[in-house]
Structure 1
Amino acid sequence: MEPVTPCAPRTPRRTLFRQSWHDLVFLHWPADPFEVAGLLPPGTVPDLHRGRTYVGLVFFRLRGLAFGGTPALPYFGSFDEVNVRLYSRDALGRRGVVFRSLECDRLVPVLAADASFRLPYRWSRIRSQWFENRLLYRTSRRGAAGAGARVWLEIERTPVVPEPVEEFLTNRWGLHGRALGRSYYLPNTHPAWSFRRCSLLDWDDSLIAAAGLSQPEGAPLSVLYAPGVPVRFGTPVPLPGT
């Protein structure tokens, strides 16, 4: 089993694309492992921490999307994103995330991600705004079935050491997905996180239920803020037997 480490256990030999993530907000709730198992790609199972698995709702700003060693894309390479994610591992012990939905406020990246990696991107309206040390994110999906989410929090200034379960949920060095009839693992690497604790002032969500999961009960068990990291993704690797 791959250990949970603050830095990637492997470095991709080739950089497929680069980007940086800013002003990340992580909300997490416990999830039913049997329900999660039915939503993962073949060749993966729910990753458990002390017998429990989780669903995450993550807000952030993506900047500087670039392919290989080329310059960052103008306009289309920067957008806001909100995703619903689950936690997975494969037969080789690699831990990853599985995205159930990814809200994005640029249409072209939505179409490109669906065509290439079959990631469930959705074209949405997303707004983020700072009020001194308070941060507000709001998103609503375009169209008739307009699922959405909102988080309003106050961020402490002093960095904190995350709890073991929070390390388990955030130290993820790849994603599992499925495209062209095969499951795959897409590795990534970035510097170690720097986290700050938050006071959750208000929140609302209908994205988790829209992603096929039971709506969590009550407030999230973990709320974290991270200023951001630069990220590199390697090339996808097919999962054996899928």
Structure 2
Amino acid sequence: MTQPSWTRAAAPLLHRPVTQHAWDDIVFAHWRHDPSALERLVPRGTRPDVVDGSAWVGLTAYVFRETRVPPFPSAGRLGRMTEVTLEVLTVDDQGRHGVTYRTVDTPNVPAIVAAHALLGVPYTFAHARSRRRGESIVHRSVRHPSRALHPVRWARSLRQERPADTVRPRHAASVRVTAGDVVDTALAAELTTRAGIHARHLAQTLFWQRQHPPLTIRTASLDRLEGDLPDAVGMPGLFDREPDSVLVVDGTTVRYAWGGIVR
């Protein structure tokens, strides 16, 4: 029997948690997509997850804080950052419903190094920030590809004179929403409650289990969505049309643990 999506992420962890985080002001924007068009974007052993008759790609943005690496205490503000992600909803042959990140843009360099080396999650350096005023939530990320690939060379170039018409390459994403009423539908739960992360690491596909309490999900109206970040991760034109779903979760606590090798 298929496990209901709203209880999926509350399932006990199979192994000890490797990290624990508080997420605040979470914005979910999702678009329906043709599954065949997404197959090249997901790792071996997984496929696009078809929910309500469609595959889905999403932008998720949130404030990430109070990082813990058990058994050590919270890192406090040292672990606080904004993350802006682009992802594909995926499922593997064992029926685990997760996400495959195309990018996780963040300004936290230690997180970038650890995620690449240990988890296989494609973190990328970006200037990311967030703001909340009442029910209005804004997340923005701007990255410089040359800095992400060659940080020392990029820093040196800033001290050199550049032609006035030279424009440094960058990719950005900005989303602003206004949160609304609580919603309790199967589709909202499927889009926001995923059991873990499918990630490529070296020659393997890994699954990292994600656990959190059942989410209180709210509808949201989209005030602004712009940027070219999708073009950089194989999703050109994604922001050219409005999302098919926009949702908000005010906050939750997320724990990650080893889930196993997919293939």
- TM-score calculated relative to the size of structure 1: 0.91
Q: Would you say the 8 A contact 2:63–2:82 is kept in 1?
A: yes
2:67 maps to which residue? 65
The one-character-per-residue Cα deviations of 1:36-60 (angstroms, maximum 9, x if unpaired) are 1111111111110133101100110
Supply the AA of the counterpart residue of 2:260: V
Query: Would you tell me which structure has more helix in proportion to its own residues?
Result: 2
Offset of 1:151 from its aligned partner?
A: 1.2
Q: Would you say the 8 A contact 1:62–1:78 is kept in 2?
A: yes
Consecutive unaligned residues of structure 1, counting only runs of 5 or more, are none
The one-character-per-residue Cα deviations of 1:195-235 (angstroms, maximum 9, x if unpaired) are 22222112113222211023234111111111111111111
CA separation of 1:93 and 1:63: change in aligned 2, threshold 3 A: same
1:11 maps to which residue? 12
CA separation of 1:9 and 1:132: change in aligned 2, threshold 3 A: closer
CA RMSD, Structure 1 to Structure 2 (Å): 1.7
Offset of 1:164 from its aligned partner?
A: 2.7
Offset of 1:18 from its aligned partner?
A: 0.8
Number of positions where the alignment pairs a residue of Structure 1 with one of Structure 2: 238
User: Any runs of at least 4 consecutive aligned residues in structure 1 with deviations exceeding 6 A, and if so which?
Assistant: none
1:147 partnered with 2:171: yes
The share of aligned pairs that are identical, in percent, is: 28
Rg larger in 1 or in 2? Answer: 2
Offset of 1:74 from its aligned partner?
A: 4.5
- Write the distance in 2 (CA, Å) between the matches of 1:19 and 1:105: 16
Consecutive unaligned residues of structure 2, counting only runs of 5 or more, are 146-167
- Write the distance in 2 (CA, Å) between the matches of 1:138 and 1:107: 17
Q: Would you say the 8 A contact 2:5–2:186 is kept in 1?
A: no
CA separation of 1:140 and 1:114: change in aligned 2, threshold 3 A: same
Offset of 1:89 from its aligned partner?
A: 0.9
Aligned partner (choices 83, 86, 101) of residue 84 of structure 1: 86
